[in-house]
Structure 1
Amino acid sequence: MRNMLQDSDIMSGLLPDLASPDAEAVVQEITRTSIFQGYVGVFIVAFVVTLFATPIMRRLAVANKIVDMPTDPRKVHKQPTAYLGGVAVYLGLMAAMVFAIVATQIPGMIDYHETEHNLRISSHIMPFSIMIGMTVIMLVGLFDDIIGISPRLKISGQLFAAAALALDSVGIQVAAGLIFPAAKALGIDPIIISGQETIGFAVFGYGFDIIYWTGAAVIAVFVLGGCNAANLIDGLDGLLSGTTAIAAAGILIIALTLALIDDGARDTQRIILALAILGVCVGFLPHNFNPANIFLGDSGSLLLGYSMVVLILMLGDTGKTHLVVAGLVIYAIPIIDTALAIIRRKMAGKKMSDADSNHLHHMLKRSLGVKGAVFTLYGIGSAFALLGIAASFGRARLVYALILVLASFIGVTAIKIARRGIIEAEVAGKINGTTTTDSPAKPSGDTKGGKSAAAK
């Protein structure tokens, strides 16, 4: 991989690659559709298992009183609603991945597209580190749903899952796409550490791999941010599962395109994971759309966030970091909402754990109702998906410029919302005869998910 990074223009887009004679020959032989058809069994398994496991989990939750009672007037649902939806999603993901592994041992069961890398893959079609991370994330969320655990313990579980990825080098190359060009510009020569070409230095006879440790830090930030962003956006029936399905479909298109033009070790893994996520979301959505009869809970929201982060990080294993940025654009809804919440609460002098009613879905719900807000965010999510797909085919500079525009939009919007909130709090304080600092925090407009939603 690192030799490839040195011999090619890391920051180039995908379209120039398609112009090469070798790429044209491959395109003539296979298409995105033909590749997709070879993997479609993964989607079917994920969809069917989740579709039928969800009502079983619902009955199990009701029998054991693992339900969210609508005692708080802020909650949308009017009847006791089961948790454990996240367990059904987990079962669907695991079933799809086990199927993908078993399918390689049974001729004719599934038809993966053939590349030099994929022909050498057997049980490592899906790295076990990803499956271990999913298990840890799901269990942490499940314990929080059932008995409640401290934020520190939840963060520890997420960091453990991130460490598992780093140890297996999943997503590590995200850093290479930036560090190698920067080192070349500064005249820093690569060194060999553990048989791999990298940027680093020797300490007491031992090599310090700057790319590896920078990549590990990036993975940790992505996992923490992605898990909690998904948890924050899970505020309306069907919102998280629907927007995640749209994002997974968008990244699937990029993954299929990469499979056409790039003989990469992660091609198969990206396609399998994207199809598995898409399948479980589509299988869960009929049970979770308004009016929902089961919730994802923290086990499901954290798991979907983690799975999407892994999928986005795997785009970086091409050595083209701008593809990761394109993936983030596709998954923009949770990211933007979380960024707005952070800036908004900091400006208002509130803690991050303080609830408010200014999330994107809260504001849309006040005007459009639950279903109207959800469908609107589906549309916005689809627009971001198309934008991210288009950006992935462009030059890296275009993608970075796009993310700069989005960041500026987030900052300006957050400042406006925060100022409006401060003014409203001051007005409320004058009416009640109190100061702003004495006014209680405004309750969340939608806490459908019990304790986890109340913290949003």
Structure 2
Amino acid sequence: MREYLIVLCVAAIVTFLTTPAVRWVSVRLGALTEVRDRDVHTIPIPRMGGVGVLIGMGAAVAVASKLPGLQGTFQNTSEMLAVLVAGTMICALGVLDDRYDLDPLTKLVGQIACAGILVLMGVQLAFIYLPGTTLGTVSLDPNTSFLLTTVITVATVNAMNFIDGLDGLLSGVAIITALAFFAYSYSLARQGYGDVFSSPSLMTVAIAGACLGFLPHNFNPARIFLGDSGSMLIGLVLAAAAVSTTSRVDAQSFSGLSTAVPLFMPLLLPVAILAIPIIDMVLAVVRRARKGVNPFSTPDKMHLHHRLLEIGHTQRRAVIILYIWTALVAFVGVGMSIIGNPAIVFSIAAGIAVLAVALMFTPRIRRRIDGGAPHIVRREDA
């Protein structure tokens, strides 16, 4: 655990120190987020923050390669190299989009290409475990593995991109989801399924640390945005961690369905951890498709975070509420896999959920008590 803490701190410190320079370059290049009807910021904001996150993550991985325990993650597999190469490529694609606003088709093709590089360099699903069926563990042929892994990666990349709408929202969600992945992969290794020094654990702790270092620059009022360079990088790393975790579990080491949770949890966990951005993305696609418009090229102001602002929350409160919901969903999945007692996990989750719901609707309750007076957002909270 000590080596992972070192990696986390290095990623956070390097990202924190390099982000101001990235912001300066972003301003010089004209990579700014202009003010649109759907946006909540009132002045143009630099948006190449993903470059700072990539630098911090790269520095942390470089330090990890010199640590005694984590050295093995580079000697036994090419997964970390694959993540760095594909991550650099997708960050570069994001930089181009941050500067030149690429059309949706070009960006999608680029995402598929980066995901393909990730798979070709060694990050891919080898099998799928289907609990409760006669099929059991299904080995995937190379073509199916390539296709499924690419789809998972591209879907995760776009899910993270969809949620990037408020200051600090995606940065915080990324920290929570990455730490949830780390907790799961690390606990799985402690239970005897693999080595505690593994690629998935290193990926997630490095991206969590980088986002932690970026968050002070990104929290409301933000001085720089992650941009597509950051959101797509985060999505790719989290997808790679999920796939890598799955490939490390030996199906023969489990005797039955009751003990096989680690086999299918890696497939369920990404859905649980990314539930908030995935729900937001699906709702946006359905909403736009019903209007007969392109779901990926017609932004609107109906995302979950926009709805919280309409209720009467400030940006900071809306972001914190989404943090709570993300942590709740993510760590319920992790708790199920680690504790193994659904009653305990769901009891704690239910209590937190009640508090989260109460917090969400506090502005409406306050307005009713005040006789329907409109909520006034103070300038410093806007």
What TM-score bracket applies, with the shorter chain setting the length? 0.7 to 0.9
Contact 1:176 1:211 in 2 (8 A): no
Partner of 1:364: 308
Secondary structure of the 2:65 match is helix
Q: Deviations over 1:299-326 (max 9, x none)?
A: 1111111111111222211251332212
Find 2:192's aligned residue among 251, 262, 265: 262
Find 1:64's aligned residue among 29, 42, 45: 29
Contact 1:252 1:274 in 2 (8 A): yes
Find 1:44's aligned residue among 5, 9, 16: 9
| Change beyond 3 A, Cα 1:121–1:148 | closer
Instruction: Give, in angstroms, the shift of residue 387 of structure 1.
Output: 1.0
Partner of 1:153: 106
Structure 1 vs Structure 2 CA RMSD: 2.6
Secondary structure of the 1:102 match is coil
Contact 1:86 1:296 in 2 (8 A): yes
Q: Deviations over 1:383-429 (max 9, x none)?
A: 1122111232478xx9xxx9xxxxxxxxxxxxxxxxxxxxxxxxxxx
- Measured in 2, the distance between the counterparts of 1:223 and 1:251 equals 15
- Measured in 1, the distance between the counterparts of 2:225 and 2:320 equals 18
Question: What is the one-letter code of the residue matched to 2:91?
Answer: M
Q: Deviations over 1:76-116 (max 9, x none)?
A: 22333212211101111111112212334xxxxxx45xxxx
- Measured in 2, the distance between the counterparts of 1:135 and 1:165 equals 11
Contact 2:65 2:74 in 1 (8 A): no
Partner of 2:258: none
Secondary structure of the 1:172 match is coil
Secondary structure of the 1:75 match is coil
- Measured in 1, the distance between the counterparts of 2:141 and 2:132 equals 9
Partner of 2:362: none
- The within-5 A match list for 1:103-114 is 103-104=67-68, 111-112=69-70
**Is 366-375 or 288-297 further displaced after alignment?**
366-375
| Change beyond 3 A, Cα 1:266–1:150 | farther
Contact 1:172 1:211 in 2 (8 A): no
Secondary structure of the 1:76 match is coil
Q: How many residues align?
A: 327
Instruction: Give, in angstroms, the shift of residue 121 of structure 1.
Output: 5.0
- Measured in 1, the distance between the counterparts of 2:17 and 2:92 equals 21
The question of 1:384 aligning with 2:329 is answered yes
Partner of 1:89: 53
Q: TM-score, normalized by length of structure 2?
A: 0.78
Question: What is the one-letter code of the residue matched to 1:176?
Answer: I
Q: TM-score, normalized by length of structure 1?
A: 0.66
Q: Deviations over 1:12-47 (max 9, x none)?
A: xxxxxxxxxxxxxxxxxxxxxxxx223211111110
- Measured in 1, the distance between the counterparts of 2:244 and 2:264 equals 10
Partner of 2:62: 98
Question: What is the one-letter code of the residue matched to 1:357?
Answer: K
Partner of 1:287: 217
Partner of 1:331: 274
Q: Which runs of 4+ in 1 moved over 6 A?
A: none
Instruction: Give, in angstroms, the shift of residue 130 of structure 1.
Output: 1.4
| Change beyond 3 A, Cα 1:100–1:293 | same
Question: What is the one-letter code of the residue matched to 2:108?
Answer: I
Contact 1:248 1:278 in 2 (8 A): yes
| Change beyond 3 A, Cα 1:287–1:258 | same
Contact 1:258 1:267 in 2 (8 A): no
Find 1:249's aligned residue among 155, 179, 182: 179
State the percentage of identical aligned residues: 32
Secondary structure of the 1:177 match is strand
List gaps (5 residues or longer) in structure 1. Answer: 1-35, 105-110, 113-117, 186-197, 200-209, 403-456
Partner of 2:357: none
Instruction: Give, in angstroms, the shift of residue 331 of structure 1.
Output: 2.1
| Change beyond 3 A, Cα 1:177–1:55 | same
List gaps (5 residues or longer) in structure 2. Answer: 252-262, 347-382
The question of 1:312 aligning with 2:276 is answered no
Q: Deviations over 1:327-381 (max 9, x none)?
A: 3202211111111212222334332122222211110111212112111101101
- Measured in 2, the distance between the counterparts of 1:149 and 1:294 equals 20
- Measured in 1, the distance between the counterparts of 2:112 and 2:335 equals 32
Contact 1:101 1:123 in 2 (8 A): no
Find 2:128's aligned residue among 153, 159, 176: 176
Instruction: Give, in angstroms, the shift of residue 233 of structure 1.
Output: 0.6
Question: What is the one-letter code of the residue matched to 2:43?
Answer: Q
| Change beyond 3 A, Cα 1:162–1:181 | farther
Secondary structure of the 1:342 match is helix
Question: What is the one-letter code of the residue matched to 1:339?
Answer: V
Q: Deviations over 1:241-294 (max 9, x none)?
A: 001111111111111101212352695111111111110111001000111000
- The within-5 A match list for 1:156-235 is 156-173=109-126, 175-178=127-130, 182-183=134-135, 199=139, 210-235=140-165
- Measured in 1, the distance between the counterparts of 2:74 and 2:15 equals 27
- Measured in 1, the distance between the counterparts of 2:119 and 2:268 equals 19
